[in-house]
């Protein structure tokens, strides 16, 4: 793995910020790397305020959307809240649906079946709306490219409001209102909201017109934080503010549906918990059973009902994990058997693989074989696949080059989905390999990790850690800082730990003669050289460890290499 430094900021700027806000030199460096260069931006960064959120009516289409919803309320019309089956879609549906229900509005929700209907607006969903005498559909986290489906709804007398955050095509649907900051004609200042975030702006606008204030809708902001974390949108601007208050809401008053998953935590919830604990479970419902189970969980208002739904979701997630592990092992075996030549890509297929986990498997394969990857499963007469990429390689453009062998595809730079005819599998595999080979650069074939600062261990103090943790919530655009310390030695207590003795418990001392402990998962293979007193360098983030009631700082290793 290549270790690459993030550019070190200008020293004069660092000193100036240091003086203005009174923080250690290293903290000032981290802030300037994140574009925070003066007192006011630092204040907004460390102390997010609801007042810094933009007026929802700056978003193109917002006035038309709220007017249509108020008309529906006045006339007692029935509304359907329609959303995607992933975390962003299901949280967005739960948010808007529960808000409208509080207005005593006749309202239903709809999540398409991942396997029968696929992503986005479906004809089946629209027909269900018609059968239920729905006259207005509010689409969450989808719809910006559903031109034909929205035209079909119009023929049935159903209006559409689209709340989407994906990039529009050259033409957009003829919906009654489209809320999407990425539209060319939208002057909304923040472009990186997720689908649930746009839903929050919609209920904020409705609340404003009813004479309410944003504090009235804070109980909904936990859903937005879950969606922001799971959808991996930039953790800057409004997303940072919404996540800050959403995590606060989860900590102080968690909704019943997620209590089962977070009760074991003795500390404050963070973004990693949302990504690695909450999100897989909400996603698991749509992968294994149906996304509507996730919405029902998030809407649960009775303790027993919430517990029952959470246990069911936990079972879906356990099944998802088993499938993920089994299929990953089978895929790795397939790669091993066919490894007669050096390839630039990975394309694998087995008919009985579960379509709900092929995307996860593709990501797992990249951990072992670092190259653009497609994992296919059978779907009737077709093969459906998930594509994942490596840093710097645009798989959407790769798929464009292979479209002669593709029935349909969609997605973005690093992740996509596609459908091919069974007989096109081998031609597609060859075309994909050729397209990757022609576009990938040598440096893109090596995994890399960026680090913020090189520093000695004596700089790590409780005060330093306390200030650094206030830089949270972390995520894209504001990643948890990674540090490099060189010329380290075993402090005497390094050892292999874990049930299989495959983790590294590090006792480390550096040039500053400071000593700290660290943990390196799956790094116990280094223990012999460490105990031989070989010098080594470490990449790490900082973590707080609690053992028998005692708290201490530790290094969470991301990389270790020997100096010679």
Give tens-digit pLDDT for 71-86. 999 999 999 999 999 9
* Cα–Cα distance list, 368 to 101, 329, 373 (Å): 47, 11, 11
- Best CATH choice for the domain 338-445 from the list 3.40.50.10480, 3.10.310.30, 3.30.70.3280, 3.40.50.620: 3.10.310.30
pLDDT at residue number 1: 85
- Band (pLDDT 50/70/90 cuts) for residue 92 is very high
Mean residue pLDDT across the chain: 93
Write down the pLDDT at residue 547.
74
Mean pLDDT score, 250-264: 90
| Average pLDDT over every residue of 89-115 | 93
What is the pLDDT at residue 483?
A: 97
Write down the pLDDT at residue 266.
67
pLDDT at 564 over 90: no
Mean pLDDT to the nearest integer, 405-421: 88
User: Could you report the per-residue pLDDT of 301-338, keeping only the tens digit for each?
Assistant: 999 999 999 999 999 999 999 999 999 999 999 999 87
Convert 70-100 to b/e letters by CB count within 10 Å (16 or more is b): eebbeeebebbbbbbbbbbbbbbbbbbbbbb
Q: With bands split at pLDDT 50, 70 and 90, how would you rate the model's confidence at 239?
A: very high
How do residues 335-374 score in pLDDT, each as one tens digit? Answer: 998 776 789 999 999 999 999 899 999 999 999 999 999 9
Going by pLDDT thresholds of 50, 70 and 90, the confidence category of residue 545 is confident
Q: Is the pLDDT of residue 263 over 90?
A: no
**Per-residue pLDDT reduced to its tens digit, 494-503:** 999 999 999 9
What's the CATH number for 56-308?
3.90.1640.30
Q: What is the mean pLDDT of residues 501-529?
A: 94
Q: Give the mean model confidence (pLDDT) for residues 522-529.
A: 94
Instruction: Give the range among 53-62, 411-420, 446-455, 458-467 with minimum mean pLDDT.
Output: 411-420
State which H helix or E strand residue 74 sits in.
Answer: helix 62-75
Strand ordering across the sheet containing 382-388: 346-349, 373-379, 382-388, 415-421, 408-411
Please write the tens of the pLDDT for every residue from 142-163: 999 899 999 999 999 999 999 9
pLDDT score of 267 more than 70: yes
> Residue 546: pLDDT above 90?
no
Q: What is the pLDDT of residue 14?
A: 96
**CATH architecture classification, 451-564:** Beta Barrel (2.40)
Neighbours of 136 (CB within 10 A): 21
pLDDT of 115 > 90? The answer is: no
C-alpha 300/C-alpha 315 separation (Å) is 18
For the four alpha carbons of 222, 225, 227 and 229, in that order, the dihedral sign comes to negative
Q: Between the CA of residue 316 and those of 277, 360, 451, what are the distances in Å?
A: 14, 15, 37
In the predicted structure, residue 210 carries a pLDDT above the cut 70: yes
pLDDT of residue 340: 60
């Amino acid at each position: 793995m290549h270790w690459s430094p993030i550019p070190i900021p200008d020293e004069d700027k660092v000193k100036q910020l240091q003086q203005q806000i009174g923080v250690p030199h290293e903290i000032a460096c981290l802030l300037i790397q994140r574009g925070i260069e003066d007192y006011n931006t630092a204040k907004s960064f460390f102390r997010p305020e609801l007042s810094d959120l933009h007026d929802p009516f700056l978003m193109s289409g917002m006035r038309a959307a709220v007017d249509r919803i108020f008309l529906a309320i006045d006339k007692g019309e029935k509304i359907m809240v329609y959303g995607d089956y992933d975390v962003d879609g299901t949280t967005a549906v739960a948010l808007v649906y529960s808000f409208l229900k509080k207005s005593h509005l006749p309202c239903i929700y709809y999540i398409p079946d991942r396997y029968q209907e696929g992503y986005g607006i479906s004809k089946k969903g629209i027909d269900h709306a018609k059968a239920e005498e729905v006259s207005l559909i509010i689409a969450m986290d989808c719809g910006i490219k559903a031109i034909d489906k929205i035209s079909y709804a119009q023929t049935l007398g159903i209006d559409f409001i689209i709340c989407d955050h994906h990039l529009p095509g050259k033409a957009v649907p003829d919906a009654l209102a489209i809320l999407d900051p990425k539209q060319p004609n939208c002057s909304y200042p923040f472009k990186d909201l997720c689908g649930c975030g746009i839903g929050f702006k919609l209920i904020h606008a409705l609340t404003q017109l009813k004479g309410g204030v944003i504090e009235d809708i804070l109980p909904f902001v936990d859903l937005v934080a879950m969606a922001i974390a799971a959808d991996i949108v930039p953790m800057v601007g409004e997303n940072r503010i919404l996540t800050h208050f959403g995590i606060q809401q989860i900590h102080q008053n968690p909704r019943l549906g997620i209590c089962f998953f977070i009760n074991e935590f003795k500390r404050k919830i963070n973004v990693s918990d949302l990504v690695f604990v909450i999100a897989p479970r909400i996603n698991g419902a749509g992968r294994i059973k149906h996304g509507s189970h996730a919405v029902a969980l998030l809407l649960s208002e009775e303790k027993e009902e919430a517990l029952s739904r959470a246990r069911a979701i936990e079972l879906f997630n356990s099944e998802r994990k088993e499938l993920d592990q089994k299929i990953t092992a089978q895929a790795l075996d397939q790669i091993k058997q066919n490894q007669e030549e050096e390839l630039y890509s990975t394309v694998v297929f087995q008919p009985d693989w579960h379509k709900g986990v092929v995307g996860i498997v593709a990501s797992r394969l990249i951990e072992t074989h670092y190259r653009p990857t497609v994992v296919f499963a059978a779907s009737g007469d077709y093969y459906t696949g998930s594509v994942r990429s490596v840093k710097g390689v645009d798989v959407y453009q790769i798929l464009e080059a292979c479209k002669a062998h593709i029935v349909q595809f969609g997605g973005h730079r690093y992740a996509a989905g596609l459908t091919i005819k069974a007989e096109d599998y081998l031609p597609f595999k060859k075309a994909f390999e050729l397209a990757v080979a022609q576009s990938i650069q040598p440096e893109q074939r090596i995994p890399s990790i960026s680090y913020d600062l090189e520093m000695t261990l004596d700089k790590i103090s409780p005060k330093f850690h306390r200030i650094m943790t206030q830089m949270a919530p972390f995520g894209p655009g504001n990643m948890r800082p990674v540090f490099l310390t060189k010329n380290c030695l075993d402090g005497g207590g390094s050892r292999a730990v874990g049930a299989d003795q495959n983790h590294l418990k590090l006792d480390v001392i550096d040039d500053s003669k400071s000593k700290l402990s660290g943990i390196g998962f799956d790094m116990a293979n280094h223990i012999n050289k460490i105990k031989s007193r070989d010098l080594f360098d470490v990449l790490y983030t900082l973590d707080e460890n609690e053992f028998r009631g005692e708290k201490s700082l530790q290094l969470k290793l991301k990389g270790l290499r020997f100096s010679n």
